[in-house]
Amino acid sequence: MKLEWKMKEKKFSEVQILALGFVVLIFTGGLVLTLPISSASGEWTNFLDSLFTATSASCVTGLVTLDTGTHWSLFGQTVIMLLIEVGGLGFMSFATFFAILLGKRITLKNRLIMQEAMNTFSIQGLVKMVKYVLMFTFAIQLFGALLLSSQLIPEFGFAKGLFYSVFHSISTFCNAGFDLFGNFTSLTGYYNNPVILLTIGALIVIGGLGFTVLIEIYNYNGKKKFSIHTKVVLLMTTILIVGGAISIFLLEYTNPETLAPMGFRDKVVNSVLASITPRTAGVNSISTDGMTLGGKFLTILLMFIGGSPGSTAGGLKTSTFGIIIFTVISVVKGREDTEIFGRRFSKELVYKAFALLFIGMTLVMAVTMMLTITEPGESFISLLYEATSAFGTVGLTMGVTTRLSSAGKCIIIVMMYLGRVGPLTVALALTHKHKKSRYKYPEGKVLIG
C-alpha cells in the first residue's frame, strides 16, 4: 500500500516575519563588524562583542561593550549608523521604499507586515504613509545634522565634524544613544553647550512621538481635531518630560557630581535632557553613576515607560502607561469604563495594556535576577538599571555594560531584542492564533485588596 504524505507549505505570520527580520539584520551586522576592516586597529573583533554591538544598533539601544568612538573604524561606524537607521525605521519601510522605486507591486502580505511594524490601526494609505515617514525622517535628520555641524565642524574639522553631525543626528532621532566622542563620555563634555543639548533633545522627542502622531501633527490645519491616540501620546509625553525635568532638577540640584557645579541655565537644560533621554535615547550630559539614588530610580521608571507606539523608541510606551493610569483613575472614581477626553476605551485594550505591563515587569525582574547570578560583584540598583535600560532600548548604564561576563552579554542581547521587537509581538510570533470562544464560563467572585 502506497502512503502519500502531504507537505504543508510553511507560512509565517506578520509578527513572525517581523521578529525573524530583526534576527537576520542583527546577525548580518554582527558578522560584518567582526571583520578587520570594521575595527580601528585592523584586527578581528570578538564575535560576541560584535553581535552585542549589532543588536544594540539594530534594536536602537546604545549599550556598548566596546567604545564606539575609538574601537571601530570609519567603516565600522558607518555600518553601525546604517544598522541604527534600518533598525529604527524598520527594515520593512526600506524594503517598501526600494520596491516603490523599482516599480514593484506592494502585496497585501507586505502591507500587513508594514502595519505590524509601523503599529498602525489599518492598512489603508500605508504605502503613502511609508513615503511620508521616510521623507520626513531624512528631512529632520538633515536639519538636525546642520544644527550640530555648526558646533562640531569648528571643533573637529569639516569632514570629521560633518560625519559626527550626521551620525549623532541619526542616532538620536532613532533613539539609539550611540556616540562617537570616545571613552564612553557621551555628551558630558558638552554639558554647557545648549545648541547641542537642545538639538539632540528635540531629535529624541520627535523620533519618540510615533510616525502616526507626527503625520497627524504635520497635516493639522486647525479644523479637524487630533485623534484620541495623538492626544494621549502628547499629554503623556508632556507630563513625563516636564515632570521628569522638575524632579531631576530638585533631586540633583545640590549634587556635586551632577548639577551642583553648573550655572542655573545649564542646570535647567541638563535637567530637561536628563528627563528626555531615558525615553529612550541613552545619551547623557551628566554622570549617570554619580546621580543620587532618587535620580537613578526616577531614571529607571522613565526608561521602563519609554517612548510612543510606532516610533523609534522602546519601552512600555507612553499610551500604554496612559491607559493604565486612566484605568486606575476611572476605578477610583467608580466608573465602569476607562475614560479620557470624552472617550471610553474597550476592555480588550485595557487588558492588553495591563498584559504588556505585567510582561515588561516580569522580564525586567527575571533579567535582573539572572544578572545577580552572572555579575555577582555589581550592586542591585546598577543591575536593575542595566536590565531596564535593555528592555526600554535606552542605552544608559551605570558602567556595568563594559564589565559584563559572556553570560551577562548574552542575557542583555536577548533583552534588547525583546525590548525592540516587543514582548507581545514575540509572544504572538511564537503562538498560533486562537479562534474566539463561542461560550463563556459562569462568573466567579474573588476577594481582592
8 inside domain = no
Please state, in angstroms and rounded to a whole number, the distance separating the CA atoms of residues 332 and 352.
20
**CA–CA distance from 150 to each of 74, 126, 203, 285, 417 (Å)?**
21, 36, 16, 19, 35
Q: Do 26 and 51 touch, CB atoms closer than 8 A?
A: yes
Would you call 416 helix, strand, or coil by DSSP?
helix
Question: Which of helix, strand or coil describes residue 197?
Answer: helix
Residue 317, helix vs strand vs coil: coil
Measure the CA–CA gap between 234 and 281, rounded to whole angstroms. 18
State the pTM of this model.
Answer: 0.87
Best CA proximity match to 85, nearest among 142, 13, 162, 123: 142
C-alpha–C-alpha distance, residues 4 and 16, integer Å: 30
Q: Is residue 444, in this structure, part of any structural domain at all?
A: no
HEC-encoded secondary structure of 49-86: HHHHHHHHHHCCCCCCCCCHHHHECHHHHHHHHHHHHH
Domain assignment of residue 318, given as a range: 14-425
74 within domain boundaries: yes
User: How much is the pLDDT for 8?
Assistant: 44
Domain assignment present for residue 30? The answer is yes
- DSSP class of residue 5 equals P
Residues 6 or more apart whose Cβ sits within 8 Å of residue 327? 338, 345, 350, 353, 354
Contact 353, 320 (CB under 8 A): yes
281 and 176 Cβ atoms separated by less than 8 Å: yes
10 Å CB burial of residue 84 (0-12, 13-18, 19+) is buried
Question: What pLDDT score does 189 carry?
Answer: 92
The per-residue pLDDT for 366 is: 96
pLDDT at 5: 39
Tell me whether residue 214 is in a domain: yes
Whether 371 contacts 411, CB under 8 Å:
yes
Is residue 442 in some structural domain?
no
pLDDT of 20? 80
**Hey, what's the cell of 208?**
519618540
Residue 437 lies in a domain: no
Q: What CA dihedral angle connects 114, 115, 116 and 117, to 10 degrees?
A: 50
pLDDT at res. 201 = 94
Query: The cell 546604545 sits on which residue?
Result: 62
Closest CA to 170 of 234, 38, 77: 77
The tally of domains found in the chain comes to: 1
For residue 144, is it within any domain?
A: yes
Q: What is the pLDDT of residue 435?
A: 56
Per-residue confidence of the chain (449 residues) as pLDDT tens digits? 444 434 344 566 656 766 787 888 899 999 999 999 999 999 999 999 999 999 999 988 889 999 999 999 999 999 999 999 888 776 445 555 545 555 555 554 555 555 544 555 555 555 666 777 778 888 999 999 999 999 999 999 999 999 999 999 999 998 888 999 988 999 999 999 999 999 999 999 998 888 778 888 877 777 778 888 889 999 999 999 999 999 999 999 999 999 999 999 999 999 999 999 997 788 999 999 999 999 999 999 999 998 888 777 788 889 899 999 999 999 898 888 888 888 888 888 888 889 889 999 999 999 999 999 999 989 999 999 999 999 998 999 999 999 999 999 999 999 999 888 776 566 555 554 555 667 777 877 676 66
